[in-house]
Amino acid sequence: MAKTRGQSNAKRAGTEPVLLSGGNPQIAKGYGDAPVQAYIAAMPGWKRDVGRRLDALIARAVPGVEKAVKWNSPLYGVEGQGWFLGVHCFAKYVKVAFFRGTSLSPLPPGESRTKETRYLDIREDDQVDEAQVAEWVKQASRLPGERM
């Protein structure tokens, strides 16, 4: 059973990850691959495999990609340009946010309340077009990123 907010620090020291509402892992802010790998390891169930595949795909598409966890979400960026992509777990899907997604071709399918962001929601039984996702990642990495 996943641990939730409000549990004692002793219980949090156990082997199970702390999950926030919607099943998003609570991971301390940090820069580099280690906090991102900790986030992926804490992703519940089938989402962990999605996280591993996304992380590997992004690393292949953008050699030397910068990584961090902020606001309990992995971020990917290019040094000097900012963050171009974020990942977040929800109860029934994993959300991939392209921060300059309206500049990608073709547009990622999910609309956002923010002007330039577009989303790709990945559900458990989705057949992900990894070639298309890799192309979006490459395009996104060449655009000015978000400063967060």
Percent of the chain with pLDDT over 70: 89
| DSSP-based three-state secondary structure for 132 | helix
CA distance 139 to 130: 14
Q: Output the pLDDT for position 45.
A: 93
Whether residue 4 is predicted with pLDDT greater than 50 in this model: the reply is no
Q: Output the pLDDT for position 1.
A: 28
Q: What is the overall mean pLDDT for the chain?
A: 89
Is residue 87 within 8 A of residue 54, CB to CB? The reply is yes
Q: How confident is the model at residue 23 (pLDDT cuts 50, 70, 90)?
A: confident
Q: What is the pLDDT of residues 57-115, one digit of tens each?
A: 999 999 999 999 999 999 999 999 999 999 999 999 999 999 999 999 999 999 999 99
Whether residue 3 is predicted with pLDDT greater than 70 in this model: the reply is no
Q: How confident is the model at residue 5 (pLDDT cuts 50, 70, 90)?
A: very low
Chain-centroid distance of CA 98 in Å reads 10
Domain ranges of the chain: 17-141
- Of residues 113 and 20, the one with the higher pLDDT is 113
Q: How many residues does the chain have?
A: 148
69 sits in which H/E element: strand 66-70
Is residue 62 within 8 A of residue 135, CB to CB? The reply is no
Q: How confident is the model at residue 19 (pLDDT cuts 50, 70, 90)?
A: confident
Pairing of strands 30-31, 66-70: antiparallel
Question: What is the DSSP annotation of 86-127?
Answer: EEEE-SSEEEEEETTGGGSSSPPSB--SSSS-EEEEEETT--
Question: What are the tokens at 84?
Answer: 């171009």
Per CATH, the number for 17-141 is 3.90.1150.200
Q: Output the pLDDT for position 8.
A: 33
Is residue 27 within 8 A of residue 69, CB to CB? The reply is yes
